[in-house]
Structure 1
Amino acid sequence: MIEAPPSKLLNPLAPLRLTSFSHGGGCGCKIAPGVLSQILRNHAGGLIPPELMVGIETADDAAVYRLNDEQALIATTDFFMPIVDDPYEFGRIAATNAISDVYAMGGRPIMALALVAMPINQLPVEVIAEIVRGGQDVCRAAGIPIAGGHTIDSVEPIYGLVAMGLVHPKRVRRNADAQAGDVLVLGKPLGVGVLSAALKKQQLSEAGYRQLIENTTKLNTPGIALSALDGVHALTDVTGFGLAGHTLELARGAGLTAVVEWSKVPLLDNVIAMAGGGMVTGASGRNWAGYGGDVQLHEGLPATAQALLTDPQTSGGLLVSCAPEAAEAVLDVFRQEGFGHAAVIGRVEAGAPGLAVIP
C-alpha cells in the first residue's frame, strides 16, 4: 500500500468538504445500468476491425487492440467526483480505480493521461494540485508516467485517468470467458459504498475511514500474474455496479449461471450494521432497479444482503473465474501481493444466464 502523507489542506474533519461539491462520489456516480443499457441499445454496431480483440460487446473493463503476435494494447478510461474530502486521497483513489481496468484484462500498465475537470472559482489551486499529486503518486507506484491529459473548468470536481497497458494476445482475460464448473474468487472485501455514504453523512469513524482509504488505494496488481495461470478463464473488477452487477455481466457474457455463496463473501468491518442502519448509497437502489430481475435471492439471506450485493465499489477487487484445480494458485497470487481477504465465493454452472445468491 502507498504510504500517504497527511494533507494539511483538507481532511475528513475540515470545514471545507470536497464531497459537498458533487452530487455523488466515486463509482457511485455511474449511470444506472438500466439507463446505460437503453443509451447503448442502438449503438453496438460501427467499425470493428479484425485487430479489435475486445470492444463493447460484453461490457468488459477495457478495449484491447492486437498490435502483433506478441503484443496487444489495452485502453480504458475512468473518472468520477470525490468520494472523500482529502484531495490527495481523492486523487489516489481515482487513479487506482482507473488503472485497475488494465489489470482486470490481465495486462501491465504502461502509461496514463490525466482527466481534470474542476470548479476553478470555488476550489483553491492548491487543493486541485493535491488531487493531481495523489494521482501522480499512484501512477509512480504502478511504474507508469502521466504523459499528458486534458483540463476543463467544471461545475463539479472530476478527476481520473486514461490508462493504457500491454498484454500478450493469448493472455487477455475477458469477462465473458467463464466456463461451467469454474469457481469464483473475489480479491477485495465489499462495503466501500456503505463507508462512503457514512462519510458523506459525517458518521464514519476514524477506523472506518482508514479502511476506506486502504481498500480503494490498493492497486489490483495480481491481475498480471493471474493472466499467466492456465486455469484462469475470466477476469473483471467489481466497481460501480456492485458484486451482483459485475458477476451478472460475467454470467451473461458466458451464457451461464453464476452462484454466489453469501456467507463466503468478504466484507469490510462493520458494514453489515452500517447498511442495516441506512448507510447505503442511492446507486445501490439504482443498480437493483437496473438488473435485479436477473438476480435470484434465496430465502435465508440477511436483510442487508441486497444492499451490499449492489453496493457500488470504487476501486473494488478483481473477480476471477477459474477451474477448481487452479483456485489455490489464484489465492496464492492474491496472498503474495497482500490481498489477505481474497476468498472463493461461488461457482459457475450450466443454465440460463443469471445470478443466484444463496446463504
Structure 2
Amino acid sequence: MPLDEFAWRVRLARRRKAHARKFKMAAGLITLTIAAIAWYLGYYMQRPEYALAQAAAAVEQHDLAAFQRRVNIAAVADAGYDDLTYVLFSRDTRLSESERSASGKFYQRIKGSVAEGLTYTIENAVQNSVWAEPEGVNALKGRQLGIDFEYLMECSHLRDTSVLSIGDVTRDGSGAVAMLTVVDEGTGLEFPLQLRMEKGDLGWQVVRVVNYRAYLEAVQMAAGSDVTRYIEATRPIVDRYNGVFRSTQYEFLYLTETAWGTYTTEHRRALIRLLQDDVIPLLKKYQRELDAVEIPRGAAYLAAQRKASTEASIASYESFIRGLDTGLPEEFARAETLHKQALTYDLRVGDMVRRSAVSEETPATP
C-alpha cells in the first residue's frame, strides 16, 4: 500500500474517533440537561420556594390568576382581620369588660364583609397596582357597617409594606414557614415576616402571615411617638382656631335655619359675606399654620387627613356660595357632598387622635 494512502487512512480513523468522542460528549450534555429539567419539573417546582418565587413574579407582572394560585388571599385576609382588630381594639383600656365583649361580638359579626373587602382590595392592587376605596353601593363605603374601612386599611399597613428580601423556607411537617424581610414605608421600620405555607391541590400556597400581629404592634409603636409629637406641636393651633370656628358655626346655623326653608335676599348676602370674609379665610389661615409645622414621618397620614378635611370644607363653602348666587340645586348638592367628605376626614382624625396617647379635638368647623 502506498505511503500516502496509508497516512490518509490513519487520519480518517483518527477523525472518526474524534467525532465519536464529540458525539458522546454531546449526548452526555443532552442527557444532563434533560436530567436537570426533569429535576426542575419534578422537584424544585414542587417545593414551597418555587411557589413563593411565583407569587413574587405574579405581583411584578400584575398576574392575578398566578398570584391566586400561590396565595390563598381569603385565608390570609381572614386571619389578618383577627390580628388587626385585636391590635386596634382589644387593648383599649378605656373599655369596660361588658363594652369589650360587645365590641368583640360586633367585629366578629361584620368580619365576613370586611374580610371579603380586604380580599377584593388586595386582588385589585395585585392586578391594577391601585389600592381602591369601596365605591357605589358597597357596604364598606363610608361608615355603613359602623367602621371606617379606609382607616382600617391604613392601620393594616398593607399599602405601606414593601418586600426587601426573601429568606429561607423551613419545612414544618406538612407545611412550611417562609421568611421575608419587609419595610413599613411610613416609619422606615424593617421587620422579619413569617409566612405560613401549606400544600394543596394547586401546590404550595401562602395561607397566613404568622406574626402579622407582632408586625402591626411594632409599626404602631414606631409611629406612636411621631403621632404624639405632631399632635402636641399642633395642639395650640387647633385649640386657638376651635374657639373661632365655633363662633362662626353658631352664626352660620342661625342664618341657615329659616322658618320657611328658603333664604331671603338679606340672608343670602349675610351668608355669602360670612363665608367669603370670615370662614374661608380662617380655614386657609388655619391650614397654612398647620403646614408650617414639621411633620414627623410616622404622622404623615394624620397630617394628610387634616389637610383633606380643610380642603373639602373650603370647597363645600365655595359651592354653597355659588348656590346662593345662582340658585342652582346642583351647587347645593355638591356642597352637601363635600361637607360629608369633610366630616368623614374629621371623624378619621378623631379616631387617630383617640388611639394616640394624647387627647385632642378636631376643628369644630361649621
With a CA cutoff of 8 Å and minimum separation of 6, indicate the structure with the bigger relative contact order: 1
State the TM-score, normalized to the length of structure 2.
0.23
More helix by share: 2
State the TM-score, normalized to the length of structure 1.
0.24
Q: Highest Rg: 1 or 2? A: 2
